[in-house]
Chains A and B, each alone.
Chain A
């Protein structure tokens, strides 16, 4: 009640043509745009960095890779006392629920190792963001929203909101090559990859007329090659291609989605809209993605253990960023 009264008094006073009110009003008009500008711009400081996205099924090793690359420079400071601290090691990880971004640097020619500490060597460095996404099926929307041409929706659960206009320079699809060896993981992994590639394809072909958005190359990182059960990269590639082909076939024969064709977007469904790669082709191969300017490369490696390591992935990332 009392609050209301003061408010009322305040309101009445503000309507009287007193110099104070004029002054306040004037000041308000003057500063409002400035304030607004500050409000709007303060948030977008990180969005200008180029970024590389990590996607892939849960447990593939995305977060492990992210932490490995981030902690790289810590393990061998300035290259002076090499491997006193041993090789760089990733942090232990568990299932992710929220995306995470890490700022990394690579020398401008893209050849520095992730173990080099660029600040110490004084080389000119390019900075970029590596963005890790959760792989749990219920949370894949967060990753896929980065790929849609429309504005990516931000994740409400994380304090880190998906960088809206991030300049996406590349996409790394991490998968567990050891799990792929036995039955069930292959269809699940391939299904996610299918969704990712299809999103990229739609992004490339969707922008008809206007100039297409810059192409996003894809690295398929076959992880955990340190385990002896893991499939080698070449086998991973052929298995994935075969499985993607199968998925493509069954999806084209599948039921329509609810809502499709019911409303006004009847015109929206075209034959072959959901067909990945060259339409009507019998076998799928990653080469078909080149038609949409999407380069796909399969490279093996490992985050842990004494396998092939992550250097080739880093090189790929460094060159695209």
Chain B
């Protein structure tokens, strides 16, 4: 069963909710933070109103969340249930609720400067939908059967001959689903629209079967399963089932499907045919909704059901008409083109995908030129484009300016860390914990990892120099027990640092055990030694390793376990090209579950000018923030990474 269903705005106000079992608010809060704010790459979904079936379910603390987002109004619809359960109808519920809610309260939601939406009555609508879908969820309902049947009638004349391969495809999911109604939705439902169309398109023989089946069982044909509903529905965000208004909406449904069949990129039909089908569908749907009143009647919430169904049907109709309506006539199109140009100058233009496409290409090129990895550039641009479709440009604002602004915002959001780092403050709180806390004073441990030759030791020395200037006692541990000369190199650094900071009052020592020892053990001993001798900070150097070197990478996990560093920083070069993403990913994953990188140091930033794209690429790949940037050869050439500076460089045009 459902635990809770919530309708909330992007500003955080819950407009309506229904709770069946208490769910900690942190579940939804984490969902919002991960999916919408931090946009973690593992969990993102479409934020442009895609159906709940397309958005990947979000899992947290034994709960699964299915959700959809209404972009224009900024409303999130989310259903929470126990991950153990298997509710095949849930994504449909979420979609239907969205359609109904937006239809009923859309006007109220557009009012400015208020968060109040009077929607007490929504309870009944919700109950109706829940009841309906729960009942029919695992079983077929007649509208589906009808839909398929008519699918067949319409399909067969046109598509009989070219169909064989798809027929096989079509019947397979059916059979499997029929025999095992509880299939994982994600597994049994293909997720790309194209595939969906195909699946739906092969209605022919199966529909016949189901008609036969229906004749057999009449009320309860077991043949068409929920999985089928899933696919039919998926083909069209809110298509598919309307439960009780069977025949009527059955028509509407199946017409939808037919249209989609044609629209699928299978080149069987020409465009004009598709359009004709679309028109036909629309007309019939209208008819269908008027018939509805005669055919249903066994349901308690009858009137409501009727209203709900007509809302869903009209939403479908609108969808399909929108999809198939060609832009207005010639005069219309040139007029709108002119006014579009005009509005592009004056502003106040509502952006469409066509407007954006070209400009976004330009932005993508720009980012690539700045050395941003293609993967990251594409996703950034996609995000911005989705965000901007349907948005009105400001007064005297061109599309390019608007895109720039949106890109600036999303770069800033991406690069800003979720918690800011005040290194000195953090060290203080570890080495001299407040009296009220129960923690014991201990040295602060920081370690540095990275591939060979990126400047691990150099950056470690820079950090050390900074700490010494602030009068900390620092122990440098030579954790590179592998490459010959590494220890000596560190010794030179330590000698220099001692000389440089003799007057400042800091103290620095080198802890080394020569070569060949296990690095993790050396690190552990160093930390123990530092605690004994009263050092404030331990900086651990590690051996450089290629990120695809299995053996060396796996030793990092043991290292993290032994040394228990407060911070693990990875040094990356501003210069690296496409490899940077893979490096960052592999290192981030190398410390085992429950531990990841805490931040990046980007070295050699002074050598790349404006081409600072690497830092976008790696933050994009890992969601780990950049903390420091190296800007030169001297010990003092280390800087806090300023997000504003980075974004300015990325967007500067030269």
Q: Chain A residues in contact with chain B, CB under 8 A?
A: 2-3, 6-7, 10, 36, 39-40, 43, 46, 59, 63, 66-67, 70-71, 74, 91-103, 129, 132, 134, 136-141, 153-160, 182-183, 187-188, 191, 246-247, 250-251, 253-260, 262
Contacts and interface: CB of A to CB of B under 8 A. Distances in A.
A100 B74 CA distance: 11
Interface in B613-645: 628-629, 631, 638-642, 644-645
A157 B115 contact: no
A97 B13 contact: no
A191 B335 CA distance: 54
Contact of B14 (A91, A99, A257): A91
Interface string B594-621: 0000000000010000000000000000
A100 B9 contact: yes
Contact of B11 (A10, A96, A156, A253): A96
A100 B11 contact: yes
Contacts of B642: 257-260
Contact of A94 (B8, B346, B394, B429): B8
Nearest to A66: B115
A191 B422 contact: yes
Contacts of B8: 94
Contacts of B412: 141
Given A93-B13, A95-B37, A139-B37, A40 B395 contact: yes
B640 A258 contact: yes
| Residue in A39, A129, A155, A182 whose Cβ sees the most chain B Cβ within 10 Å | A39
Contacts of A155: 409
Q: What is the interface of chain A mostly: helix, strand, loop, or mixed?
A: mixed
B416 A157 contact: no
Interface stretch (B25-33, B269-277, B296-304): B25-33
Contacts of A153: 405, 409
Interface stretch (B278-286, B326-334, B582-590): B326-334
Interface of B: 6, 8-15, 17, 25, 28-29, 32-33, 36-38, 72-74, 112-116, 330-331, 333-334, 337, 346-348, 387-388, 391, 394-395, 405-406, 409-410, 412-413, 416-420, 422-425, 428-429, 434, 437, 439, 466, 469-470, 605, 628-629, 631, 638-642, 644-646, 648
Given A40-B395, A92-B17, A93-B14, A6 B115 contact: no
| 4 pairs of A and B residues whose beta carbons are closest in the complex | A259-B645, A96-B12, A100-B11, A250-B424
A94 B112 contact: no
Nearest to A142: B409
B334 A10 contact: yes
Contact of A101 (B12, B13, B113): B113
Contact of A98 (B11, B113, B629): B11
Contacts of A254: 422-424, 640
Contacts of A258: 605, 629, 631, 639-642, 645-646
Given A67-B13, A70-B115, A98-B74, 4 more contacts: A7-B334, A137-B417, A250-B428, A258-B646
B327 to A, nearest CB: 10
Contacts of A97: 10-12, 32, 36-37
A257 B12 contact: no
A2 B74 CA distance: 40
A247 B10 CA distance: 32
A245 to B, nearest CB: 11
A159 B10 CA distance: 10
Contacts of B33: 95, 136
A71 B6 CA distance: 20
B461 to A, nearest CB: 14
A99 B113 CA distance: 11
Given A67-B13, A95-B32, A136-B37, A103 B114 contact: yes
A98 B10 contact: yes
A256 B10 CA distance: 36
A255 B639 contact: yes
A136 B417 CA distance: 10
| Residue in A74, A134, A136 whose Cβ sees the most chain B Cβ within 10 Å | A136
A103 B424 contact: no
A255 B638 contact: yes
Given A103-B113, A183-B437, A258-B642, A6 B331 contact: yes
| Residue in A3, A95, A98 whose Cβ sees the most chain B Cβ within 10 Å | A95
11 contacts: A93-B14, A97-B32, A139-B413, A156-B387, A157-B10, A159-B72, A159-B74, A187-B425, A247-B425, A256-B639, A262-B631
| Residue in B13, B412, B413, B425 whose Cβ sees the most chain A Cβ within 10 Å | B13
Given A6-B334, A157-B409, A255-B638, A94 B419 contact: no
A141 B420 CA distance: 13
Contact of A134 (B12, B422, B639): B12
B334 A257 contact: no
Nearest to B413: A138
Contacts of B331: 6
| Residue in A132, A138, A251, A257 whose Cβ sees the most chain B Cβ within 10 Å | A138
A144 B3 CA distance: 37
Contacts of A70: 114-116
Nearest to A97: B10
A2 B330 contact: yes
Contact of B13 (A59, A100, A160): A100
A136 B405 CA distance: 21
Contacts of A94: 6, 8, 12, 14, 25, 28-29, 32
Nearest to A96: B12
Contacts of B631: 258, 262
Contacts of A71: 116
A154 B392 CA distance: 13
A183 to B, nearest CB: 5
A70 B116 CA distance: 8
A258 to B, nearest CB: 4
A127 to B, nearest CB: 10
B376 to A, nearest CB: 17
A3 B335 CA distance: 10
Contacts of A160: 11, 112
| Residue in A137, A158, A258, A262 whose Cβ sees the most chain B Cβ within 10 Å | A258
B416 A138 contact: yes
Contacts of A40: 395
A72 to B, nearest CB: 11
B422 A183 contact: no
